């Protein structure tokens, strides 16, 4: 056996509810999951399917990804699988890349020990399968499943809550939300996405603790905002944020009042509704994938004073000129403070400039391939114009023809563009590239993929 195989613990695990009669079928699980679990089991480790995949399988939904938790350390997983790499800064885990999917394999995590005013500061302690389940956010996400024995384990009453379609925190709501205020946003996401109800005690705690979102880094909140905009239920999601008092700390408009319209500062949801509806209609129609960063720029333009839309329309009005001369130079710092990562700020500005450059003659200019190829962010600009038709006052005749040029326009590589890998039907065998490490030259390359979000 490999050294460091089992994770030591000072206390014995509690006995979970062991459930062998459930609705999960082996055919619903990707063969690569069985392969990875079997390899870990043969090496003497426990390996369980965890998180959103178990929840979705019990609900009869198709999981978008499969995450595993194991007693093996990340370095051990890397030794067992040649397609594995260790990732993560706060908490290291192994990522296994297959031709049509990626899988994250994390070591069982223990309760965090370092906190500041109730908020978790360090969360990098290994633990047991019970501790790993109990440290999660909601009971329905703490269910674990052994694919090899088709056994479901429930430490916290998650199956009962799942069947009752109830969102309930594992710890007392106030403690749970203080540890990680982003859990309040996740509760709303699950309510809207799954059509569940939030436990009354949890909902009361959200209303009381909503201002705690102001203590979360803007980068993390911007990442959450981006995700919510591109799932097809943005209007319902943001309406719930507004009802529970989460919208204002999430948008963080007041520190940048020079850019945002007075109506946006007073009633942000009403200002956003037309844009959110267009985003939802765009997703429902199955149209071209919009990078989350582009969707976030659309929100920014929708909430902005008239100077920014006028500038993007290419007008020569006083408002447009004032924006270009006074406010445009301040935009980079504002985008960084609002939550965009450093590597996203310059591309975001380039996209806005490309929208302006396209102007009223967008289709004619796109026909000039040399001109279009030399314009940074032109593809993203075409998509941004399409979802901002109302704000930019563009008719369908000025937008729809430009969308036909999308297949010929290059992506802006720095953004979260590569499209999600197409999985199709489940293969009968584990895919090539998953076996033990061998000496010699390894294969490189392959399709880029969008990192999977936590669920």
Number of residues assigned to the chain: 455
Core vs surface per residue 148-164: b (16+ CB within 10 A) or e: eeebbbbbbebbebbee
Task: Determine contact, residues 126/109, Cβ cutoff 8 Å.
Answer: yes
**Using an 8 Å Cβ cutoff, are 297 and 351 in contact?**
yes
CA 41 – CA 244 distance, rounded (Å): 45
Q: Are 412 and 377 in contact (CB under 8 A)?
A: yes
Catalytic residues: 65, 67, 137
DSSP type of residue 5: -
Q: Compute φ and ψ for 434, nearest 5 degrees.
A: -110, 0
Classified as helix, coil or strand, 253 is coil
CB-based contact 247:238 (threshold 8 Å)? yes
HSE at residue 86, side-chain half, CA atoms within 13 A, is 14
In sequence order, the β-bridge partners of residue 47 are 70
CB atoms within 10 A of CB 346: 15
- Nearest to 359, CA basis, from 320, 327, 417, 416: 320
- CA dist 193 → 165, 188, 285 (Å): 12, 8, 18
Q: How many other CB atoms are found less than 10 A from the CB of residue 332?
A: 15
Q: Cα–Cα distance between 66 and 100 in angstroms, integer?
A: 13
Distance CA 104, CA 97 (A): 9
DSSP H or E run through 107 = strand 101-107
Instruction: Give the CA-trace dihedral at 194, 196, 202, 204, to 10 degrees.
Output: 110
Alpha-carbon separation of residue 347 from 221, 222, 352, 359, 379 (angstroms) = 19, 16, 9, 19, 12
Element (H, E) at 353: helix 342-358
Token reading at 181: 């205020």
The CA distance from 105 to 316, in Å, is: 55
């Amino acid at each position: 056996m490999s050294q460091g195989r089992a994770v030591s613990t000072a206390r014995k695990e509690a006995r979970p509810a062991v459930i062998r009669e459930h609705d999960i079928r082996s055919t619903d699980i990707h063969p690569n999951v069985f392969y990875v679990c079997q390899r870990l089991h043969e090496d003497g480790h426990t390996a369980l399917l965890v998180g959103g995949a178990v929840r979705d399988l019990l609900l009869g939904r198709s999981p978008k990804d499969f995450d595993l938790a194991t007693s093996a350390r990340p370095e051990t997983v890397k030794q067992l699988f040649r397609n594995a790499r260790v990732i993560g800064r706060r908490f290291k885990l192994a990522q296994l890349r297959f031709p049509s999917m990626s899988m994250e394999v994390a070591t069982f995590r223990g309760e965090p020990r370092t906190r500041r005013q109730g908020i978790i500061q360090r969360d990098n302690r290994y633990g047991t399968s019970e501790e790993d389940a109990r440290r999660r956010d909601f009971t329905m996400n703490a269910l674990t499943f052994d694919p090899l024995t088709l056994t479901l384990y429930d430490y916290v009453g998650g199956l009962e809550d799942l069947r009752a379609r109830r969102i309930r925190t594992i710890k007392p709501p106030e403690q749970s939300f203080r540890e990680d205020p982003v859990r309040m946003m996740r509760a709303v996401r699950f309510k809207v996405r799954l059509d569940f109800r939030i436990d009354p005690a949890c909902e009361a705690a959200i209303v009381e603790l909503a201002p705690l979102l102001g203590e979360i880094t803007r980068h993390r909140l911007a990442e959450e905002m981006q995700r919510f905009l591109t799932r097809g239920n943005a209007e319902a999601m943001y309406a719930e944020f507004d009802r529970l008092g989460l919208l204002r700390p999430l948008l963080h408009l007041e520190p940048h009042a020079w850019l945002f319209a007075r109506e946006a500062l007073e009633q942000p949801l009403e200002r956003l509704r037309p844009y959110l509806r267009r985003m939802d209609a765009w997703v429902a129609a199955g149209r071209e994938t919009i990078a989350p960063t582009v969707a976030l720029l659309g929100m920014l333009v929708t909430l902005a004073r008239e100077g920014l839309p006028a500038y993007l329309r290419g007008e020569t009005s006083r408002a447009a000129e004032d924006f270009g001369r006074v406010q445009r130079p301040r935009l980079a710092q504002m985008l960084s403070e609002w939550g965009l990562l450093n590597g996203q700020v310059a591309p975001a500005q380039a996209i806005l400039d490309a929208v302006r450059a396209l102007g009223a003659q967008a289709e004619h200019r796109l026909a000039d391939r040399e001109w279009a190829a030399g314009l940074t962010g032109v593809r993203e600009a075409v998509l941004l114009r399409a979802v901002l038709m109302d704000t930019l006052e563009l008719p369908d005749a000025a937008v729809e023809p430009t969308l036909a040029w999308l297949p010929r326009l290059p992506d802006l590589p720095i953004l979260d563009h590569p499209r999600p890998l197409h999985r199709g039907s489940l293969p009968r065998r584990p895919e090539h590239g998953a076996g033990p490490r061998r000496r010699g030259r390894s294969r490189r390359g392959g399709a880029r993929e969008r990192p999977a979000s936590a669920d």
